[in-house]
Structure 1
Amino acid sequence: MADYRNYGARVPAAGNRADVQIDQGLRSYMLKVYNLMAAGLAITGVAAYGLFMLATSGTPVDGGAQIRPDMWLTPLGVAVFTSPLRWVLMLAPLALVFFLSFRVHKMSLGAAQATFWSYAALVGLSLSTIFLVFTQESIVQVFFITAASFGALSLFGYTTKRDLSGWGSFLVMGLFGVIIAMIVNIFLQSSALGFAVSVIGVLVFAGLTAYDTQRIKEMYFEGDDTLVAGRKAIMGALSLYLNFINMFMFMLQFFGNRE
């Protein structure tokens, strides 16, 4: 006969231990997501500034071109910023992020992580032009403004008891609206529309930061093996990375000082 003595006393203890283990596993999982995202941002920053330094010079150079009274493009800069190669830099990250999104479930953990690093580097190369448009001081200032905002929004998404899943459809609609408006403004060149797009863009990616953080948190499952958990962490880091980069670019339109 089964012995049910002390069963009631043992269950809460076991439940508490399981809760502690799940909580520790969730913290470890989220920490990995944030570390991957931070490493991706670091790679992006190094690639962007590195290409800018190689592509510009403070003195005239053979085969270069003057773009400001105090700045010249090097031959590399001419090739990267004024030739069709610039379209490769713009489109290559888009192609790679689609590749990672659709193929990650078939990749090894090392391949998925290497693809994410490569994507972050390509984004950095494509963003190197911001150093030609905005002062370095304002870029740094906007980065820290974005980091503080992102941190607060992500913390809200992680800690709130409110279900944010209902935000998803509205945020996606807003995102498509921003993309369409940006394409239209390429032809209209309207400063008013550009300002409106920047405002809406900041709001959309602010909402996505909180929404995605909660979604990534809920993706955690204690029973996942190392490979599945690693893939989830990489895709979670990619989502937050994209939110950060886009929020940063829209905020740069507000707070960045142009050269």
Structure 2
Amino acid sequence: MAEYNTIRTGAAGARTAQIDEGLRAHMNKVYGTMSVGMFITFLAAWAIAGLAVTTDPSVTGIQIGTDKFLTGLGQAVYASPLKWVIMFAPLAFIFFGIGAAMKRLSAAGVQLVFYAFAALMGLSLSSIFLVFTGYSIIQVFLVTAISFAGLSLWGYTTKKDISGWGSFLIMGVIGLIVASIVNIFLASSAIAFAVSVLGVLIFAGLTAYDTQNIKNTYLAHAQGGDSEWLGKAAIMGALSLYLDFINMFMFLLQLMGNRE
């Protein structure tokens, strides 16, 4: 918040109004890009889950419910070694794909990469439509959306500097990733519950932290007038909030969702 107050104090009235207007446009782009990414993820997950299931037992013979069987696609995605590639592909994309795109592509290109990542995330998350009831998915999504909106609004409006949260929260995320990978092999319900509770708290904090960071990043560079850089910054901000929402939703689903 210090950057915001400094810029506002040192600028003339017209310049201050211009910065405020630019900030609103920047945040609108962040939330708009994030929303499109969320829609792509949901659509991809729903479509793939629908294609992965059939009521005809003669297709693969792999039963996943009282009257549901996997199709050839479902067998490849959920019951073959390919499932490990699909599971970890979004994580690899974040570490390697997004950074390379930021350096080499224009803002429009980075945006397309983000949408491709959102589709890949949909493939990775599509199994939730087979594991949880549709009603509980919608219910948890609404709870997540309301919580996310409140946390993001607080992060945007608070005068408290929460930049110090960053290193602590990132360490928490790394711990969650390690614990989740370990629990794939241990299959401990106690660890799964603890990870889910901590995951909700960590990504709730990251939602507020990332929102304030997006705002301060714009204000620190607004006077430079580099529209291309600010365009990329908006997409990276959208990615950060998108990941906060997705992870908070998944952890809440583990805690609150009703299984098929």
Give the TM-score, by structure 1 length. Answer: 0.91
Contact 1:105 1:231 in 2 (8 A): no
Alignment of 1:17-36 (within 5 A): 17-36=14-33
The alignment partner of 2:127 has SS state of helix
State how many pairs are aligned.
247
Give the TM-score, by structure 2 length. Answer: 0.90
Q: What is the CA distance between 1:68 and its match in structure 2?
A: 1.1
User: Which stretch has the larger CA shift, 92-101 or 143-152?
Assistant: 92-101
Q: What is the CA distance between 1:76 and its match in structure 2?
A: 1.3
Contact 1:33 1:236 in 2 (8 A): yes
The alignment partner of 2:258 has SS state of coil
Contact 1:64 1:75 in 2 (8 A): no
Identity of matched residues, %: 58
Change beyond 3 A, Cα 1:188–1:89: closer
Alignment of 1:139-154 (within 5 A): 139-154=137-152
1:174 maps to which of 165, 172, 175: 172
1:212 maps to which of 185, 210, 215: 210
User: Which residue of structure 2 aligns with residue 258 of structure 1?
Assistant: 259
User: Which residue of structure 2 aligns with residue 9 of structure 1?
Assistant: none
Contact 2:156 2:215 in 1 (8 A): yes
Change beyond 3 A, Cα 1:137–1:27: same
Identify unmatched segments of 5+ residues in structure 2: 1-8
Identify unmatched segments of 5+ residues in structure 1: 1-11
Task: State how far apart, in whole Å, the 2-side matches of 1:246 and 1:31 are.
Answer: 22
Matched, 1:93 2:93: no
Change beyond 3 A, Cα 1:18–1:164: same
Task: State how far apart, in whole Å, the 2-side matches of 1:224 and 1:70 are.
Answer: 59
User: Which stretch has the larger CA shift, 73-82 or 185-194?
Assistant: 185-194
Q: What is the CA distance between 1:79 and its match in structure 2?
A: 1.6
**Greater RCO between the two (CA within 8 Å, min separation 6)?**
2
User: Which stretch has the larger CA shift, 49-58 or 189-198?
Assistant: 189-198
Matched, 1:42 2:39: yes
Backbone CA RMSD of aligned residues: 1.6
Contact 2:101 2:113 in 1 (8 A): no
The alignment partner of 2:64 has SS state of strand
Task: State how far apart, in whole Å, the 1-side matches of 2:83 and 2:191 are.
Answer: 25
User: Which residue of structure 1 aligns with residue 105 of structure 2?
Assistant: 107
Matched, 1:129 2:127: yes
